[in-house]
Structure 1
Amino acid sequence: MRKISTRIKRILTSNLGLKIVSVLVACMMWIFVVNVDDPEKVQSFSDVKVEIRNSDCFGVDKTFSVQEDTDKVKVWVKARASVLNKLQSKDFKVVADMRNVTLGNAVPYTLECTSSALTKANWECEPASLKIKIENVVQESFGVEVDTTGEPADGYDIGTSTIKEGDTINIAGAESLMNIIHRVSISVSVNGLSSDKTVKGNIVVTDKNGTDFTQSQLDKLVFTTSSGDLIKDGVLSAKIQLWKVEQNVKVNIGTYGDPAPGYCVSEVKVTPENISIVGDEETLAELNGELSLTDMISVEGVSESFTSDTINLADYLKENYKDKLKVKSGTASTLSVRVIMEKMGTKKIDIPLSAITIKGRPTDLDMVLTPADKITVEVAAVDGSLDNIDQNDVKAVLDLTSYQKEGRHEVPVQITLPDGYELTSEVKIVVNLTKKQKTSGSNTVISAAEE
């Protein structure tokens, strides 16, 4: 037994230095192989989830907002390639505990990882803290408008649209965010509707620059009804009432006041003369195809024809018919009105330019007439009735024999009337003569009767 022990001892102690070197070389080779096959690397992971904890620690009347995009965090990890290859962004969680807020309104981040192969010494995050702004919570009431998309079925238009939960809602949020709210609405589709219906729509908040709030901004607001009920998911319901469309409704405009002595209102011309409106069936039936706007234009002391200020038909219907009539969507809502005045015992007759005979028109010049559509002739009855004369009884001649040079010329129009009638005033027309254009499609007026 002693011989065996002595032999083992001799084996272990002989060439001891060489054996130690061999062990060291083996260790170094192992370390080299490990570093070659599984080196240590640094890798970044973007879009790491940020979890905010104890967000209510500031009190119920305070809130906070993230500043400088510091909630967008990148995590840097130093580890073996074999470890890094198994990691994804979702394996990390960056935590901001609001109870750790500093005097500079910064909340240091702490990191959590699902991999047990890593420790806090292996990672760091950028930025290192969450920067916040602490503000007062403010609540205000806002009216909600209904915006519609699409078109109802043919023959129908939107009559009324009301919010089922109430026309006003409460919005609570950070003071800075609340201060920029300009408009609150919901957007609903009415495409193809042919009967009344309740439809749902998401709340849209628009700032004072006309830009809709982002989803991130909306998430920082709390919506409640006027009675305090929470509005879930920011969705409201709109009651859509459809009205029938009435086309080609004639518009009559009434005047008021006393014209100048010896004058009267001859005609009130409305453009457009016919409109399309929508309304409930009872009100449309009462109109019977005509809409009369009474006492709209003053003619007090007036002796000459004039064009009045435009009339906003949409405003008129809203004020006078409330929730019974409105202008059809997509159509013009303004009316242009021309009031024709004439002396008592006279009559004004419009003569289209095509009915004027032109004599001596220069062949080497282009011609533009003003007015470009018609002239108005005022006649008086000497021996006859004004009811018996019309456009066909009036002959008009424009003689340009003496006007053969370029320029602007104010030329009298020769008017011939039937026996028993006379012209109350001279009629003139402005003639602009210019060099002929070589290209086709000039502004030359071609009369139907030309000599």
Structure 2
Amino acid sequence: MKERLINNLGLKVLSVFLAFIIWLVVVNVSNPLVNRRREVTLEIENSEVLTAARRAYKISSKSTVTVSFDIHTRDEYKIQLSDFRAYIDLSELYDVTGSVPVKVEVLHNDNIYSNVTAKPGVVRVETEEIQTKPFELVADVQGAAADGYALGSVVLTPDVVTVEGPISQVGLINHVGIRIQADALSGDMEGHTGLVFYDANGNELEVDERVSTDADETGIDYKLYVNKVKELMLDFDVSGDVAPGCRYTGVSCSRRGVPVTGSRSVLSSLNTVMIPASVLNLDGASGDKVVTVDIREYLPEGVELADSEDPMVEIRLQVEPMVTRTMELIERDITLGGQESDRYYRLVPSRVEVTVQGLSEELDSLTEEDLGAFVNVEGLEPGLHPGSMAFSESDIFTVVSWQEFQIEVTLRSGVVEAGTQPQESTAPEEESSSSQVYSAREPGLTEPAAEAGATSGSVVQGTQAETVVSE
């Protein structure tokens, strides 16, 4: 087989070459017609017919058609894509099927083309209602300000745009805005940019060319303000009465301050953020009450939280149960007020039980002196009188009750009551009696008590019989 192929190889090559020459001569002499094709962009005419009817349109097939034509072989080099124009006339749209015939025109060298046709000969046009919808612009600021500063408000011009397009496209748009890139800013920033469409998830949305806005040509101007950051302390106005037997002991918070931003003139007069009593009410509380608030609700106008700050703050109002404790007061623990120097005063019984209420850890360190017990004996005549006791005001304890007691008042030796006559006595007797009576260095104090360091208003244990010998 191989020998047959290479046998007379030169003659075989020569015959192929001569055949090509003969074909070329025949073609140039006869100049036959050949069929050729070109892809031509499909143009739209009379689209205003649908626009006037508030209808948007879309070509279902591709935006080009194949133009087929016959041409003589020697004219093929003259073929130009610009020689053809393919178009559809929307005024000829057939509403039932939505189809429009494709028309082809030969614009140049029409004498060399014949049997010019388009494929497909008919295209389908989809139409739908046009929707017009206004959107308030939002600014998507990316990046962060420099340390000690925070990104503030953004002013957009215009701040509202009108979007128009097919209802299927406009319905996909959730909001419209601009994107601003801010990196380590310490001052205000201005610029000009285009619109960005977003879906309901906040993702950028690509819409087709049939969607337009009234700001497509002018664009959007923006100004981004950058503010200083200031730390404001939280303050709490707690109101209400806790349940009986309980006490409000204080407030704790997940944080003591919040960083805020705003104009310098506004921030200069602010130091705290007050959480109002209407939120922090303890009426009837018998245990801790936890309140979670959105701090933004209590910021004054013109003040905002710094970027990335969590606005939620947890506040714990601490309420603890109180316990009672009985304490025994003796006369030196009680201050007597209004004493007269010519009389002795004694409590009956000499030990008085007092019941106090407070927090367990505070009552553990409470002493009898801390109660500040006080008995007013001003104007009491000799004899027995029902006693009443007062105590120091304190946030630590509350006096619940005290044991009933009496105040015994007696005259000092040698003092004559009104309406009686003094008894005569001999000098030795007076000398003996005076040697048994202690004079008071201060009103209401016996000499031994004064020597023992007692102060005015204190009561020394013991009975009058132990310190006074009557005549």
TM-score (norm 1): 0.57
Q: Identify the match of residue 237 of structure 1 among 221, 225, 230.
A: 221
Q: What count of residue pairs does the alignment treat as equivalent?
A: 313
Q: Identify the match of residue 102 of structure 1 among 72, 94, 107.
A: 94
Q: Which runs of 5+ in 2 are unaligned?
A: 1-18, 325-358, 371-395, 398-471
2:82 and 2:107 in contact (8 A); partners too: no
Q: In the alignment, what sits opposite 1:121?
A: 115
Q: Could you tell me how far 1:302 is from its partner in structure 2?
A: 1.0
Q: Distance in 1 between matches of 2:75 and 2:239?
A: 91
Q: Could you tell me how far 1:305 is from its partner in structure 2?
A: 1.4
Q: Distance in 1 between matches of 2:125 and 2:42?
A: 13
Q: In the alignment, what sits opposite 1:277?
A: 260
SS at match of 1:195: coil
Q: In the alignment, what sits opposite 2:126?
A: 132
CA distance 1:115–1:267, shift in 2 (3 Å): farther
CA distance 1:84–1:291, shift in 2 (3 Å): farther
CA distance 1:125–1:264, shift in 2 (3 Å): farther
Q: Identify the match of residue 152 of structure 1 among 138, 142, 145.
A: 145
Aligned residue identity for 1:300: D
TM-score (norm 2): 0.55
Correspondence 1:321 to 2:300: yes
Q: In the alignment, what sits opposite 2:180?
A: 188
Q: Distance in 2 between matches of 1:253 and 1:234?
A: 51
SS at match of 2:238: strand
Q: Could you tell me how far 1:145 is from its partner in structure 2?
A: 1.5
2:149 and 2:226 in contact (8 A); partners too: yes
Q: Distance in 2 between matches of 1:149 and 1:101?
A: 48
Structure (1 or 2) with the greater strand fraction: 1
Aligned residue identity for 2:314: S
Q: Distance in 1 between matches of 2:198 and 2:256?
A: 38
SS at match of 1:58: helix
Q: Could you tell me how far 1:98 is from its partner in structure 2?
A: 1.6
Q: Distance in 2 between matches of 1:335 and 1:265?
A: 20
Report the more deviating stretch, 140-149 or 255-264.
255-264
1:215-265 deviations in whole A, cap 9, x for unaligned? 52xx423434xxxxxx2436222232221112x543334433322123333
SS at match of 2:242: coil
Q: Distance in 1 between matches of 2:23 and 2:152?
A: 87
Matches within 5 A, 1:341-420: 341-343=319-321, 379-384=361-366
Q: Distance in 2 between matches of 1:263 and 1:343?
A: 4
Q: Distance in 1 between matches of 2:256 and 2:124?
A: 66
1:288-320 deviations in whole A, cap 9, x for unaligned? 3x3332233332211111433x32234x25xx4
CA distance 1:383–1:72, shift in 2 (3 Å): same
Q: In the alignment, what sits opposite 1:304?
A: 287
Q: Distance in 1 between matches of 2:238 and 2:77?
A: 86
Q: Could you tell me how far 1:92 is from its partner in structure 2?
A: 5.7
1:364-389 deviations in whole A, cap 9, x for unaligned? xxxxxxxxxxxxx962414428xx9x
Q: In the alignment, what sits opposite 1:449?
A: none
1:320-364 deviations in whole A, cap 9, x for unaligned? 423x21111123222222222124589xxxxxxxxxxxxxxxxxx
User: Which structure is larger by alpha-carbon Rg, 1 or 2?
Assistant: 2
Q: Identify the match of residue 262 of structure 1 among 245, 250, 266.
A: 245
Q: Distance in 2 between matches of 1:82 and 1:150?
A: 66
Q: Could you tell me how far 1:193 is from its partner in structure 2?
A: 3.5
Q: Could you tell me how far 1:93 is from its partner in structure 2?
A: 4.7
CA distance 1:74–1:210, shift in 2 (3 Å): farther
SS at match of 1:141: strand
Aligned residue identity for 2:132: Q
Q: Distance in 2 between matches of 1:98 and 1:210?
A: 37
SS at match of 2:183: coil
Q: Could you tell me how far 1:56 is from its partner in structure 2?
A: 0.8
SS at match of 1:250: strand
Aligned residue identity for 2:137: V
Q: In the alignment, what sits opposite 1:332?
A: 310
RMSD: 4.2
Correspondence 1:294 to 2:276: yes
1:223 and 1:234 in contact (8 A); partners too: no
Q: Could you tell me how far 1:95 is from its partner in structure 2?
A: 2.0
Q: Could you tell me how far 1:133 is from its partner in structure 2?
A: 0.6
CA distance 1:253–1:214, shift in 2 (3 Å): same
